[in-house]
Chain A
Amino acid sequence: MNYMPGTASLIQDIDKKHLVLLRDGRTLIGFLRSIDQFANLVLHQTVERIHVGKKYGDIPRGIFVVRGENVVLLGEIDLEKESDTLLQQVSIEEILEEQRVELQAKQESEKLKVQALKERGLVVPRADTLDEY
């Protein structure tokens, strides 16, 4: 029951399991316990899920208080459908390793690309640490 039709509110989402995507790319899964008008979130029993390829790993994190502006999107998780996934869960160590490997591969290919462009006289401006809008 939406008190304000035509608007969206997180009130209905309280105490439900959610997946939250943050601006820094992290994926959190937890129970939404509390919100406020800035959409700051309190997540309970939170798990940070790392995805690499078809594998994923969950790191238990406990309680998160997320500042609203850092949230890209969030959505409720259907508890019934949660287990229907083709993805394979692995241990934390393994997923972290996979992540490291993936990151390294990406950096290397990026380096090669920049090198190739440089040889052709093109300089790609680097958006250093800012968010990529």
Chain B
Amino acid sequence: MAEGGEPVILEDYLLAEDAPLLEEMAEEDEELDLYNEMTFGLDRDSAEEDATKTLVPPERSPELLEPEEQSRVVEGQPPTEEQGELRGEGGMEPEAEQVGSEEEEEEDEEQGVEEQEDEEEPNDLGDPAVMRAVQSKPTLESQDSAVLDSRIGSDWAEFGQEDMLAVDPAAWGSCPSTIPPHHMLEDKAILQVLERPPTATNVALDFLGSPVQRGYVGSPRHKRPDFRGMSPKSFPQHFLQQSAGYMSPGPFSPLSPNIGTPPRSLTMHFGPVSHSLDSSVFFSPSTSGQLNLSVPSHLTQLHPQHQRILTQRQQQSGTLQSVSPKKLWSPKADPCAGLMTCKEKDWVVKVEMIQLQSENLDDDYYYQTYYHRLEHKQAEEELLGGRNKQEPPKLVTPFIQKVETYNSVVRIAGSLGQVAVSTCYSPRRAIDAVHHALVEEAAGSHRLRALHRIERLFLQLLEVEEMQRKMSLATEEQEHKTQEVGRIYQALNIRACSSEEEAEDEFLQVLCVRKGKKLTARLLPHLAPEQAEKILLTITHHLPFLMKKDVPDESLPLLYSPLNEVVGRMTFSRLIEVLQEMTRTLPESAELPLTMALKNQFGISLLYSLLSRGEGLLSSETPLEPHIGDFETWTDTVFLVARELSQVPKALLVEPLFLPSNLLSLFCRYLDKQTVHHLEAKMECSPLPSEAPMPC
């Protein structure tokens, strides 16, 4: 088999046992290639180039064997198919040595071809790109995978000073401007040395020909330049060819790979979807400068605002800026820049956009909020400015229709956990952290049970609000919603309880937790008036208890706002009922709940709210339909409040969350001027707009 001339082809060492393996790899690479094409799509522009280039370059790979070079070193592992790797993704990557040639690329290719042909026979695989291997002594690198190149320093020292200084300082990976080149050798983090441009320029051209050479694209071959055993002279060229694999123009081109290149209309389509959805991406630009309005209607859309912005942007700028040049760090000096091609970036952006299109409004909260606010602002501007900024929502972003929804989390009966199912287009769902298992309520302490209940009810509440947000006018939906709300209300288990049982009462326990208060606060707007009033009654009845429990947390004010709403809709009689709760005497304390409330922010706010409502009702002249004794109770209450207010030392009086404006007029109605004046000072409310100094 080893019929080839001079070069020592250690067939047995090479591939005897690995032949089938390499064959598999070749097949894999082809499959990967196909997959890549299907995923990323084939550039229309580069299609022809591909035809010529994909075939040619891999076969005539620049990283070819150089028959003359004998002193190559391998890590004692079988080399890979260079060609196969270049073409495709190359799953496995045992270190293969590359050899720099000393001639220009093109010449190399031809030479390489000849050499390959010679060697084709000896090689069982018939693969011209298969490297020859030479045994070498085990290196530090092979022993310890964490060490990259133990001889970097020594190799670099071989270079003449001239070489080093010629290096473009801007090309260095770190602190380009501050560290002079020769110092950088000491920095072990710098693994690559950028070289001055080679003399041959047609190499560059060849290389730039197609930025999207399929042969090189997507190849995650971040091969560091392996300098071991290479002569310094060959280094520059080697590096050049090295970077050829990165599909970047390297140090020598005036263009950077992605910046200057006018983006082409990229065709993107995902696997299963039919090719009929073959439309341009939204930032396909430039060439026509037109908007692509012809989008099939069955495609999902982005938020209309988003689309509008995208159209605007599309009109403004056509180029796809993938890298923003920084002052010191110029991408063109970075040989590995542009590893991720435009196309790949577009693809990722596309997937991200697809993720944005979700039914669930909780996803991408910031994105949704941003656009809502933007819309409101624009709407406002329109109203104010009168400018017509409204553009018809354009369907400029053709995206793949989400074919079918799937269960992101699969529960297999009897299993301990959940199996997450996801596609690469909907990765988020894989980490759905919804708690499916129902917690046993019997176990655990009171508090633990209360906490579990709160969590469960909160989830239900969120669902209700979700329904609400959908804003469906269908009556069945409304009924469903009221049903759900009713269920939550029932689960709260609000019932009368005496003061001894306060600690045990389920609803009160819920209210002792901040989240429970939040739950109640959010639930209140959805409840029927009787239910909401019942909650208010319960809270007022147990106000001292709640206020005491709230001392560390101070979260009662959460309830103020919804309760205020409830109070604002109450009838006079109901109002009296609630007030009576506050004015009743307590068995265990000399203080009235009322008095205690004055010292608590929530309490005083609630009190004021109730009084304000009463005053509002009385002064509104609507028929009140009071029960017998209501008015007396009312006046008694007002007097009581006034008395307590005047007696409570100012230091203990807490400022309310909101001070209703009609309180003074209320007091005026029943009390003498002096007292009112006194109270006014105490409450620190602004005097009535009537004659100064006496308001009444």
A residues at B contact (CB < 8 Å):
1, 3-7, 9, 11-12, 14-17, 29, 31, 33-38, 42, 44-45, 47, 58-63, 65, 69, 79-80, 82-83
Contact = CB atoms under 8 A, between A and B. Distances in A.
Given A31-B173, A79-B174, A62 B191 contact: yes
B582 interface: no
A15 B353 contact: no
Contacts of B326: 79
A84 to B, nearest CB: 10
Given A7-B352, A7-B364, A79-B175, A15 B146 contact: no
Interface in B662-678: none
Given A5-B370, A82-B175, 17 more contacts: A1-B317, A3-B310, A6-B306, A11-B349, A14-B323, A14-B345, A15-B336, A15-B338, A33-B339, A34-B340, A42-B220, A42-B339, A58-B188, A60-B189, A62-B191, A62-B222, A63-B224
B322 A14 contact: yes
Contacts of A65: 220
Contact of A60 (B188, B283, B345, B367): B188
A7 B370 CA distance: 9
Given A6-B366, A31-B173, A36-B348, A47 B322 contact: no
B366 A3 contact: no
A6 B322 CA distance: 19
Which 5 pairs, one residue from A and one from B, show the smallest C-beta to C-beta distance? A6-B370, A6-B367, A37-B351, A34-B340, A47-B189
B146 A37 contact: no
Interface in B416-469: 424-425, 427, 431
B165 to A, nearest CB: 21
B224 A62 contact: yes
Contacts of A37: 348, 351-352, 355, 424-425, 427
Contacts of A82: 174-175
B531 interface: no
A14 to B, nearest CB: 5
Interface string B527-571: 000000000000000000000000000000000000000000000
A117 B322 CA distance: 57
A68 B340 CA distance: 17
A6 B174 contact: no
Q: Secondary structure of the B side of the interface?
A: loop
Contacts of B313: 1, 3
16 contacts: A4-B306, A7-B366, A11-B322, A11-B345, A11-B349, A16-B329, A31-B336, A33-B336, A36-B348, A37-B425, A58-B189, A60-B191, A62-B148, A79-B174, A79-B326, A82-B174
Contacts of B220: 34, 42, 65
Contacts of B310: 3
Nearest to B141: A62
B315 interface: no
A34 B317 CA distance: 25
Given A6-B371, A9-B349, A17-B173, A44 B356 contact: no
Query: Which of A11, A38, A45 is packed against the most chain B CB atoms within 10 Å?
Result: A45
Given A79-B176, A83-B175, A4 B356 contact: yes
Interface in B134-182: 146, 148, 173-176, 178
A93 B172 CA distance: 25
Nearest to B336: A44
Contact of A7 (B224, B367, B424): B367
Nearest to B422: A38
Interface string B489-513: 0000000000000000000000000
Contacts of B176: 79
Contacts of B340: 14-15, 33-35
Given A6-B367, A11-B349, A15-B323, A59 B174 contact: no
B348 A15 contact: no
Nearest to B370: A6
A14 B248 CA distance: 14
A58 B324 CA distance: 28
A63 B145 CA distance: 11
Nearest to B178: A83
B349 A42 contact: no
A12 B224 CA distance: 24
B97 interface: no
Contacts of B366: 6-7
Contacts of A4: 306, 349, 352-353, 356, 367
Contacts of A16: 329
Contacts of B224: 62-63
Nearest to A59: B146
A45 B328 contact: no
Interface string B180-199: 00000000111110000000
A15 B331 contact: yes
A44 B349 CA distance: 22
B117 interface: no
Nearest to B179: A83
A69 B188 CA distance: 29
A34 B339 contact: yes
B396 to A, nearest CB: 13
Nearest to B430: A38
B349 A3 contact: yes
A5 B323 contact: no
B109 interface: no
B71 interface: no
B257 to A, nearest CB: 10
A29 B191 CA distance: 14
B314 to A, nearest CB: 10
A38 B345 CA distance: 13
